[in-house]
Amino acid sequence: MEPLLGPEENRTQSLPLIPTGKGSTEERKRFYQNVSISQGEGGFEINLDHRKLKTPQAKLFTVPSEALAIAVATEWDSQKDTIKFYTMHLTTLCNTALDNPTQRSKMQLIRAAVKFLETDTVCYRVEEPPALAELQKNEWDPIVAWAEERYNVAIGSSTSILGPNIPASTKDTFVSHLASYNMWALQGIEYIITQLKSLILSMGVIDRHITVEKAVLLSRLEEEYQIQRWGNVEWAHDYDLCELRARAAAGTLFVHLCSESTTVKHKLLQD
């Protein structure tokens, strides 16, 4: 593999980062030995052999908290001989927050998240078969009831293909609640929602009401029912389940690390 930086470029202490967008299957031979973090003017930076990481849009890869920087550095440090960019969910989320490729404002992010209520997985119910309808009632009703009590809203559910009729006041309440998060955290919230196809499950995870494993199971309830009834393709089910858990867990960790003001005072990575 050709050197990523020549002798002259090495002095600039910067390192272009290969894009790690959603669905990326990029891999590359590992070209660094040590991973570390440092504090700069704009926040905490990631260093690969003392060269600073950059985003796909060539911005300096800088994150707002030491804890998040350590988590991202751990992703890079855990790569073996081959860098599998598609496994680096925290790095991808940071790239999205820094580059904002869709150029959306905070309110646009919030409204996109709240719009998921109209098609929320746990609000769509079936009437047939009765066993699946009963399973949905038993498993989804409690999380909907929790959300209604937690946020003092009305949500409900529906067997209509049009979905439930979500009151405008409910949407306004969620808009106000999400406005309390910063732009970085909102990117993470939207990421979780797109994985679980549910704002309600996502808020349950973020609020620590349910675990990531539970949220993933609830989001895949109908699929799990069909698998138990008809069986599944060998390995495919377990792989998809693990991938979804990894993405949802990364998004949840990202939100928490972007929302907390405390910093990690101990060094996690050792040279």
| Predicted confidence (pLDDT) per residue in 27-54, tens digit | 889 999 999 999 988 899 999 998 999 9
Q: From residue 90, how far is each of 7, 61, 71, 108, 174 by CA, in Å? A: 30, 12, 8, 22, 25
Can you give the residue ranges of every domain in the chain? 7-99, 106-259
Average the pLDDT over each of 85-89, 148-152, 162-166, 189-193 and give the range with the smallest value: 162-166
Query: What single DSSP character describes residue 128?
Result: S
Total length of the chain: 271
Query: What is the C-alpha separation between 167 and 159, in angstroms, rounded?
Result: 17
Non-local (6+) Cβ contacts of 88 within 8 A are 20, 75, 76, 79
Question: Would you identify the CATH topology of the domain 106-259?
Answer: ATP12-like fold (1.10.3580)
State the chain's mean pLDDT as an integer. Answer: 86
Region 164-185: mean pLDDT is 96
Q: Is the pLDDT of residue 219 over 70?
A: yes
Q: In this structure, what token pair is assigned to residue 93?
A: 């989320």
Region 210-230: mean pLDDT is 90
Domain 7-99 listed as CATH 3.30.2180.10: yes
Confidence of residue 2 (pLDDT cuts 50, 70, 90): very low
Over pLDDT 90: what percentage of the chain? 71
Query: What single DSSP character describes residue 49?
Result: T
In tens, the pLDDT along 110-119 reads 999 999 999 9
Region 169-198: mean pLDDT is 97
Q: What pLDDT was estimated at residue 261?
A: 46
Helix (H, G, I), strand (E, B) or coil at 141: helix
Q: Is the pLDDT of residue 6 over 50?
A: no
Helix (H, G, I), strand (E, B) or coil at 143: helix
Confidence of residue 14 (pLDDT cuts 50, 70, 90): low
Q: Is the pLDDT of residue 20 over 60?
A: no
Confidence of residue 223 (pLDDT cuts 50, 70, 90): confident
CB 89 within 8 A of CB 49: no
In tens, the pLDDT along 72-100 reads 999 999 999 999 999 999 999 999 999 99
Q: From residue 10, how far is each of 14, 19, 40, 57, 266 by CA, in Å? A: 7, 21, 19, 19, 29
Comparison of pLDDT for 227 and 122, the residue scoring more: 122
Q: What pLDDT was estimated at residue 235?
A: 61
Q: What pLDDT was estimated at residue 15?
A: 52
Region 11-16: mean pLDDT is 45
Q: Closest by alpha carbon to 184, among 67, 87, 266, 77? A: 67
